[in-house]
């Protein structure tokens, strides 16, 4: 009997909510107004299965018209999956109101506990193992999983049945004896999903809250002993007495926040602020903070509304071949560890009274808390006119300290204006994360407003860039002599790239991504490290690899990715490499890769599993002569001559040139010393970009924070491009006609320059755009590849992520001769400034008589607030904070000088 009771407790506490990746608070009020109790007649489609297209269908799972007669009644019903084939649930839409329903749970199993149309859930839910797929409570809004992620059902391994459990807490709404048909609608697809979603539940089963006690902590912790999982959302749950619930990953004594939230807010899934990976040996921990004030008896964990619960739901995805659909933790295996829990775990989160949702009814309060989290000011604040920095500080809120520094350092004005304006565009871009598919009319309006705001900010960005003075920069240009001019396409004006938010490749998550390139078919090629990592133990003081005993990487390290839908078209490179690094593709489609552990360069046929076509260097033997490399970083192959250039590397500071057959020709470069390195000196030449029609080779001189370009025939230094906004590092570069793309590195301790991408006019070296991702964030962007249509891919070696950015350009395009003779100039007519736009900019810069009150503008649009830009829809995105998150990360390139303090391993 005790075992049955324990099982019942486990089933009762699986209380969750919809997978709401729109920011739940931003849509809660609108959703609350549209939900209502079902009438006496059950509402819903006439048939439960509705085809969407050749691969997708919807499934409507509803209670068959029930009338609970007692509070805290649990009813269950089942529905068989209408196909024997494997399918994936990608969308959940609740069909319920908290006026009648306390919560709903959807389980997957192979056999339900009953074959009746519905039954009391104390008879059980599933006859076999039950996996929770979905949960809903407190009018949480509908949701959709991120692209490429789905809950697997059917087939040989997935569940054959869905079991819906509905908890009717307060039955006062059933005084008219109406019949309830609450439930959930699912969107399923037969298309295989590369990543499988799952749920990890941390819950307390033995917490006791003494009556009247002000603070009671309930702690849960377990060791994680599975394949890596990647957390992308979390959801908290308690009843009335819960104040705040916090979840963490603990690794080597370091606490990394998964999420913390008030359980009195709508109980939807909230996206993690930054991606959190959980690996074998980590500890997952959670704390619920309760108060016993107002109670006259002890409160225990249980399934009724007078009991309490302490639940943290972690939503994750795993690679399909290792996927586990459901895991639980009900113990506290490391209680002493909680002495070091971050203090934030015991700080309650402010809750606006009209956002609090009580059992069976809405708790409304006429007197609003003016200091609450989401309070809007009653009167519009007029921003100071004519002061650019005051305006931006008002708009950005949390960046006032940075604005203050910029304001009183006039020499930094140009850089700061560019950075802050770009940050506005980036913040607004975060808000426009809508998905394809049907929308409610209100959502159309909200999305339209977001797009309007984004477009106006981008217009401001364009206008600002045309009138502000050229930014302070350091670069030298060596112009060709008269008569030696070569044709170069020059880009000026507005060229903007932003993340392709509908591209699912961001969720591929291979190993550490070290290289990205494009093949002749414009497919994306990724070079990654599988389960190997470069850390402080990888090499000895003589650069000899120390982890040879691990053997080569046992999975394909080269992936060919469809640029449109991110499906893996082809893979290779199994059992060849130890620590992959650089990747390039020649005009014939051959792969050129470097391995820093092997100290070698390889030429590979993409269509052959045979031995490499060419190998340069000696395996596991670092050196600096004509036959050896020392941690080579990148390769570039001249499309006209077939000449091979190798950047070598971490422990050699040189560029080595070989013939197409691999014969040594020459080398140049030397190690830099001091703070002002001379031309031709390197500190980790990390990335190469050929400019064939100009016969130039450009090098990302990583630790010197600059780009150097050389003539390929004479090896003569041509130019240096160096900007203050690069910070101390330039990791990678990529060239397309007229444009040079780059990514920098994470700022050193105390530095201000953020990690980001840059678009530069190749002729002048001027930065014409900067960019960052919306989903997740740059941590160590390690390589970059650009196509001639303006599409850009960035691979990150710490977040194991590849992003796709697309061009939204309306640019001036001029053909010029490098000798300085202008031949023709063609301007895009769309780039001409309208008079009204000019007046707006004049007001922005204090030249007009009035003033553009952007605070009023944002506040007048639904979902926006003036202070810090309230975040809107996220729909599965891992949002990036504007400040450095301080999260732990892998120290990858240990041959380079390290910032202080040293980062922890993750």
Positions marked catalytic: 102-103, 165, 167, 237, 239, 309
CB 582 within 8 A of CB 617: no
Q: Residue 16, Cα to own-chain centre: how many angstroms? A: 24
Backbone angles phi, psi at 463, to 5 degrees: -65, -40
Rg (CA), the chain: 29
Output the CA torsion sign for 37, 41, 42, 43: negative
The Cα 768–Cα 37 span in angstroms is 54
In this structure, the chain runs to a length of 906
The span from the CA of 64 to the CA of 182, in Å, is 9
Asked whether the beta carbons of 839 and 400 are under 8 A apart, the reply is no
Of residues 630, 695, 621, 682, the one with CA closest to residue 654: 682
Burial state string for 170-180 with b = 16 or more CB within 10 A and e = fewer than 16: bbebbeeebeb
Which long-range contacts link 847-855 to residues 24+ away (Cβ below 8 Å)? 850/385, 851/382, 851/383, 851/385, 851/386, 853/380, 853/382, 853/383, 854/383, 854/391, 854/395, 855/380, 855/381, 855/382, 855/383, 855/394, 855/395
Quick check: 216 and 290 in contact, CB under 8 A?
A: yes
Listed in sequence order, the residues at least 6 apart from 898 whose beta carbon sits closer than 8 Å to its beta carbon are 891
Which residues are CB-neighbours of 349 under 8 A, at least 6 positions away?
243, 244, 260, 261, 262, 265, 373
Residue 789 CA to residue 807 CA, distance in Å, equals 8
For residue 561, the surrounding DSSP H or E stretch is strand 558-561
Closest CA to 727 of 797, 778, 802: 778
Measured CA to CA, the distance from residue 609 to residue 793 in angstroms comes to 26
Q: How many CB atoms lie within 10 A of CB 155?
A: 16
Distances 566 to 195, 561, 593, 677 between C-alpha atoms, Å: 12, 5, 22, 42
**How many other C-beta atoms can be found within 10 angstroms of the C-beta atom of residue 869?**
20
Where would I find the H helices in 348-440? 388-396, 400-407, 413-431
Q: Is 498 helix (H, G, I), strand (E, B) or coil?
A: strand
The answer to whether 664 and 601 are in contact (CB under 8 A) is no
Rounded distance, CA 732 to CA 781, Å? 8
Strands (E), 737-780: 739-744, 757-761, 767-771
Instruction: Please report how the helices 413-431 and 441-467 are oriented relative to each other, as an axis angle in degrees rounded to 10.
Output: 170
270's CB contacts (< 8 A; 6+ apart) are 20, 23, 24, 233, 234, 235, 259, 261
User: Which contacts of 43-49 are long-range, i.e. CB under 8 A and separated by 24 or more positions?
Assistant: 43/95, 43/181, 44/95, 44/181, 44/183, 48/79, 49/82
Question: Which of 769, 772, 848 lies closest to 803, judged by CA?
Answer: 772
């Amino acid at each position: 009997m005790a075992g049955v009771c324990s099982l019942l407790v486990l089933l009762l506490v699986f209380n969750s909510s919809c997978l709401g990746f729109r920011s739940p608070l931003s849509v809660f009020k609108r959703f609350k107004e549209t939900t209502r109790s079902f009438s006496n007649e059950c509402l819903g489609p006439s048939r439960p299965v509705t085809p969407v297209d050749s691969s997708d269908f919807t499934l409507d799972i509803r209670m068959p018209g029930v009338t609970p007669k007692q509070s805290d009644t649990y009813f269950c019903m089942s529905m068989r999956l209408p196909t024997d084939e494997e399918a994936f649930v990608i969308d959940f839409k609740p069909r319920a109101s908290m006026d009648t329903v306390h919560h709903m749970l959807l389980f997957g199993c192979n056999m339900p506990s009953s074959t009746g149309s519905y039954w009391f859930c104390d008879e059980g839910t599933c006859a076999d193992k039950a996996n929770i797929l979905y949960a809903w409570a407190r009018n949480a809004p509908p949701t959709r999983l991120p692209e490429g992620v789905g809950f697997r059902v059917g087939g040989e391994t997935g569940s054959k049945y869905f079991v819906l459990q509905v908890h009717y807490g307060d039955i006062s709404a059933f005084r008219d004896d109406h019949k309830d048909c609450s439930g959930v609608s699912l969107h399923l697809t037969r298309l295989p999903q590369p990543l499988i979603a799952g749920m990890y539940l941390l819950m307390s089963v033995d917490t006791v809250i003494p009556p009247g006690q002000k603070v009671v902590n309930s702690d849960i912790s377990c060791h994680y002993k599975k394949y890596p999982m990647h957390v992308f959302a979390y959801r908290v749950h308690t009843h009335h007495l819960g104040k705040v619930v916090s979840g963490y990953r603990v690794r080597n004594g370091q606490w990394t926040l998964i999420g913390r939230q008030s359980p009195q807010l709508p109980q939807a899934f909230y996206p993690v602020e930054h991606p959190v990976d959980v690996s074998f040996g980590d500890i997952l921990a959670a704390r619920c903070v309760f108060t016993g004030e107002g109670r006259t008896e002890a409160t225990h964990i249980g399934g009724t509304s007078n009991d309490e619960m302490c639940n943290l739901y972690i939503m994750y995805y795993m690679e399909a071949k290792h996927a586990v659909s459901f895991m639980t933790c009900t113990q506290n295996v490391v209680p002493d560890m909680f002495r070091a829990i971050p203090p934030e775990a015991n700080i309650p989160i402010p809750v606006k009274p009209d956002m609090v949702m009580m059992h069976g009814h809405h708790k409304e309060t006429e007197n609003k808390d003016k200091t609450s989290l989401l309070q809007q000011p009653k009167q519009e604040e007029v921003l100071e006119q004519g002061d650019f920095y005051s305006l931006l500080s008002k708009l950005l809120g949390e960046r006032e300290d940075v604005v203050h520094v910029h304001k009183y350092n006039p020499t930094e004005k140009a850089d700061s204006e560019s950075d802050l304006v770009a940050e506005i565009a980036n913040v607004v871009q975060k808000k426009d994360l809508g998905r394809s598919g049907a929308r409610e009319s209100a959502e159309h309006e909200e999305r339209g407003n977001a797009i309007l705001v984004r477009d106006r900010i981008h217009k401001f960005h364009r206008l600002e860039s045309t009138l502000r003075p050229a930014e302070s920069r350091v670069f030298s240009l060596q112009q060709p002599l008269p008569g030696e001019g070569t044709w170069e396409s020059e880009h000026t004006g507005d060229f903007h790239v932003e993340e392709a938010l509908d591209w699912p490749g961001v969720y591929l998550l291979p190993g550490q991504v070290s290289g990205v390139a494009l093949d002749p078919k414009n497919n994306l090629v990724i070079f990654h490290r599988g389960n190997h990592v470069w850390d402080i133990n990888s090499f000895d003081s003589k650069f000899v690899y120390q982890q040879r005993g691990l053997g080569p990487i046992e999975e394909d390290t080269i992936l060919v990715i469809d640029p449109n839908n991110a499906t893996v078209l082809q893979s290779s490179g199994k059992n060849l490499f130890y620590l992959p690094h650089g990747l390039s593709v020649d005009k014939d489609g051959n792969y050129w890769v470097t391995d820093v552990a092997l100290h070698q360069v390889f030429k590979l046929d993409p269509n052959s599993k045979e031995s490499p076509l060419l190998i340069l260097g000696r395996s596991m033997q670092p050196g600096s002569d004509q036959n050896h490399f020392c941690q080579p970083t990148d390769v570039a192959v001249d499309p006209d001559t077939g000449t091979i250039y190798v950047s070598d590397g971490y422990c050699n500071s040189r560029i080595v040139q070989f013939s197409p057959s691999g014969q040594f020709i020459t080398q140049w470069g030397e190690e830099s010393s001091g703070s002002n390195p001379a031309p031709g000196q390197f500190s980790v030449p990390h990335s190469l970009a050929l400019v064939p029609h100009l016969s130039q080779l450009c090098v990302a001189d990583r630790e010197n924070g600059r780009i150097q370009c050389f003539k390929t025939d004479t090896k003569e230094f041509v130019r240096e491009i160096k900007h203050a906004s690069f910070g101390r590092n330039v990791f990678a570069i990529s060239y397309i006609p007229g444009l040079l793309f780059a990514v920098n590195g994470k700022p050193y301790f105390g530095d201000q320059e953020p990690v980001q991408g840059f678009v530069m006019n190749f002729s002048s070296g001027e930065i014409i755009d900067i960019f960052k991702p919306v989903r997740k964030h740059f941590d160590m962007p390690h390589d970059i590849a650009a196509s001639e249509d303006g599409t850009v891919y960035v691979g990150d070696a710490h977040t194991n992520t590849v992003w796709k950015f697309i061009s939204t350009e309306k640019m001036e395009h001029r053909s010029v001769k490098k000798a300085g003779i202008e031949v023709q100039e063609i301007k895009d007519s769309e780039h001409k400034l309208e008079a009204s736009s000019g007046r707006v900019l004049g007001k922005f810069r204090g030249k007009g008589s009035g003033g553009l009150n952007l605070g009023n503008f944002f506040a007048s649009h639904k979902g926006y607030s003036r202070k810090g830009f309230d975040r809107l829809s996220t729909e599965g995105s891992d949002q990036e904070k504007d400040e450095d998150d301080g999260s732990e990360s892998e120290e990858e390139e240990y041959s380079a000088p390290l910032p202080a303090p040293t980062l922890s391993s993750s």
